Amino acid sequence: MSAARVEDGAAVEARVRGAFAAQGLVRLLGAELLAVAPGRVAIGLPFRSEFGQQDGFFHGGILATLGDDAAGFAALSLMPPDHRVLTVEFKINFLAPGLGERAIARGEVVRSGRTLTVARAEVAVVQRGSERPVALLLATMMSLPSAAPP
Amino acid sequence: MSAARVEDGAAVEARVRGAFAAQGLVRLLGAELLAVAPGRVAIGLPFRSEFGQQDGFFHGGILATLGDDAAGFAALSLMPPDHRVLTVEFKINFLAPGLGERAIARGEVVRSGRTLTVARAEVAVVQRGSERPVALLLATMMSLPSAAPP
Amino acid sequence: MSAARVEDGAAVEARVRGAFAAQGLVRLLGAELLAVAPGRVAIGLPFRSEFGQQDGFFHGGILATLGDDAAGFAALSLMPPDHRVLTVEFKINFLAPGLGERAIARGEVVRSGRTLTVARAEVAVVQRGSERPVALLLATMMSLPSAAPP
Amino acid sequence: MSAARVEDGAAVEARVRGAFAAQGLVRLLGAELLAVAPGRVAIGLPFRSEFGQQDGFFHGGILATLGDDAAGFAALSLMPPDHRVLTVEFKINFLAPGLGERAIARGEVVRSGRTLTVARAEVAVVQRGSERPVALLLATMMSLPSAAPP
């Protein structure tokens, strides 16, 4: 963690924004990185009809993707600069139908270890200006040297 | 389950195909329903660069979406005709990087109850004709009357 | 939820304490109900060498049992008086070795529905007066009429 | 994995039996190691009234403990001889009430990596000679050098 500690906030943010922008999926969906701080990341996604499941809400897979990303980039923000993050596993509980104009996933690190990081994310939807939580995610992330094979 | 039992295989397949086609996400991604049988569903998805995470493999969120769908539609296939399926929660373990031309998710019901169904899915990728598992998903699905509020 | 709402705090506590005391496992382990409030329950367990796994710490199964109970009784506290709680599933992440004289599990309800409740628990150990979190649990609980078959 | 590969089956079994016997919890509960093979372990536990939850069945925490152990020792059986196993996390779905004279947990490795192993376990109960599955567990295990701090 010493390497991360000497990085200043701006460097952490630039590093996370770079990894975020490199995701093809982000471009496909149109997700935005709303906020980055050490151990915390927020990601937003405006609703489009193609994100719907059969009932017209945000598909659970989209909410899971956002939550996974928010938790993963929160974990990455505390990893050494020359490392990347892999999701080992996650679990997600859906709390309410994802009906709204916009989804927001907020990820935070629960415990940061040398190899493994435990992180969680809350995914909310905003409907007519009012926000409510729709999913809760708990994940295990792994830190790998950028040069290592996946 | 009595309602499902009197449905023949063709009716089950037509019902699951209808629910699958109604998902906007399916059109966005280009996923195909490969096989439907009572309690079992397989879904395929050709790779596109927009599905990639930062390392150029299938993003975990895409694999999770496929697995969730395969498990959910497997559960739906055993539910009464006038019911729909909601994902209560799922957990997914990633086994290997999702590098390949195509992903396949195979879902199957583990235990089908009146209200809750436990289902699992294995997600594999096909690379140069050779298939290998990349993720394992275990989910809880809920049966709801189609007319009920979500 | 209306039934639970008209119950006063003392009635809720008496109901949860009754269900807790009825668990044979509680007597086997020596667990104590430390606190009960609507939607929140804390359970304590002094360490004994038989609780150890191969390295001499609290076995993960014991920590999971405590967390499951704390989450489950928190859920029960918001259910109607004539209902009981069943654990549908839970997931637990271990954060640090469970080394200490005493474990404490604090459960809280995240979302309470008519049939399903999402609850989480944090399990901590106390070592020489200092407490630290060792596990995080996220669970799905089900409400059943007491008279119904399990 | 090379170290494990040169170990013969008897050496693997002796190593797993030693780690199993070192668990205080095993003595508390009275669990038995029924079978050990590379990547597979079965554990049995006769019912005692103290294992019951409030309804008189095997407590979910006991079933989770058995499943965690079966998955963990299955993982250990494929690790190098000088390594020990830690549970990173697990998820368990309960399929049916754990009513019976005896529980059996069968663990198997799904994917064995250098640092992390994915393993699963099925827990069944035997009632009047008839066995049925009651829980399904999916876990992430970590390999650590025996000498390393936990």
What angle (nearest 5°) sits at the alpha carbon of residue C68, between those of residues A136 and A121? Answer: 15
For residue range A97-134, what is the model confidence (pLDDT) as tens digits? 999 999 999 999 999 999 999 999 999 999 999 999 99
For residue range B40-57, what is the model confidence (pLDDT) as tens digits? 999 999 998 877 765 668
Q: CA separation (Å) from C6 to B109, C1, C2, C114?
A: 40, 9, 7, 16
- Return per-residue pLDDT of chain D as tens, 150 residues: 444 455 788 999 999 999 998 887 777 889 999 999 999 999 999 998 877 765 668 999 999 999 999 999 999 999 999 999 999 999 999 999 999 999 999 999 999 999 999 999 999 999 999 999 999 999 999 999 987 665
Sign, CA torsion B114/A59/C140/D24 = positive
- Decide the pairing of beta strands D102-112 and B116-127: unpaired
CB burial of A95-115 (b: ≥16 within 10 Å; e: otherwise) equals bebbbbeebbbbbbbbebeee
Q: What are the residues of chain C with a beta carbon less than 8 Å away from any beta carbon of chain B?
A: 88-89, 91, 115-116, 118, 140, 142
- Does C118 sit within 8 Å of A96, measured CB to CB? no
Which chains does C contact via 3+ CB–CB distances below 8 A?
A: A, B, D
Task: Give the single-character DSSP code of B58.
Answer: B
Which two three-digit tokens encode residue C72?
A: 């489950």
Task: Give the single-character DSSP code of D123.
Answer: E
For residue range C82-120, what is the model confidence (pLDDT) as tens digits? 999 999 999 999 999 999 999 999 999 999 999 999 999
Question: Pick from A52, A66, A94: which is nearest to B24 by CB?
Answer: A52
Q: How many CB pairs under 8 A join A and B?
A: 119
Mean pLDDT of B105-110: 98
Q: Which domains are assigned to chain A?
A: 2-145 (3.10.129.10)
Q: Which residues contact C10 (CB under 8 A, 6 or more apart)?
A: none
Q: What is the pLDDT of residue A87?
A: 96
C-alpha C125/C-alpha C78 separation (Å) is 27
Q: How many CB pairs under 8 A join A and C?
A: 30
Question: Pick from B88, B91, B118: which is nearest to C116 by CB?
Answer: B88
Which two three-digit tokens encode residue A54?
A: 């059969």
Predicted confidence (pLDDT) at residue A2 exceeds the cutoff of 50: no
Please state, rounded to an integer, the average pLDDT across all residues of chain C: 90
Residues on chain A touching D89 (C-beta within 8 angstroms): 89, 118, 140
Q: Which of B134, B15, B13 is nearest to B82 (CA)?
A: B15
Instruction: Measure in Å the smallest separation between the Cα of B27 and chain D Cα atoms.
Output: 31
Place of tokens 């069943």: C86
Residues on chain B touching A107 (C-beta within 8 angstroms): none
How many Cα atoms occupy the beta-carbon half-sphere of B34 within 13 Å?
17
Which chains does D contact via 3+ CB–CB distances below 8 A?
A: A, B, C
Q: Which residues contact A49 (CB under 8 A, 6 or more apart)?
A: A56, B24
Q: Which of B18, B13, B139, B114 is nearest to A54 (CA)?
A: B18
Which two three-digit tokens encode residue A19?
A: 């990894």
Question: Pick from C52, C68, C93: which is nearest to D25 by CB?
Answer: C52
Helix axes B9-21, B60-77, angle to 10 degrees: 140
Query: Is this complex scored with an ipTM above 0.95?
Result: no
Q: What is the pLDDT of residue B85?
A: 95
C-alpha D68/C-alpha D144 separation (Å) is 17
Please give the torsion angle defined by the CA atoms of residues D112, D113, D116 and D118, in that order, rounded to the nearest 10 degrees.
-30
C-alpha B104/C-alpha A119 separation (Å) is 28
Q: What is the pLDDT of residue A4?
A: 44
Residues on chain A touching C95 (C-beta within 8 angstroms): 110-111, 118
- Best of B86, B89, B137, B142 to disrupt the C interface (most C CBs within 10 Å) is B89
Which chains does B contact via 3+ CB–CB distances below 8 A?
A: A, C, D
Q: What are the residues of chain A with a beta carbon less than 8 Å away from any beta carbon of chain C?
A: 91, 93, 95-96, 110-111, 118, 120, 133, 136, 138, 140
What angle (nearest 5°) sits at the alpha carbon of residue C72, between those of residues C83 and B118? Answer: 90
C-alpha A51/C-alpha A30 separation (Å) is 11
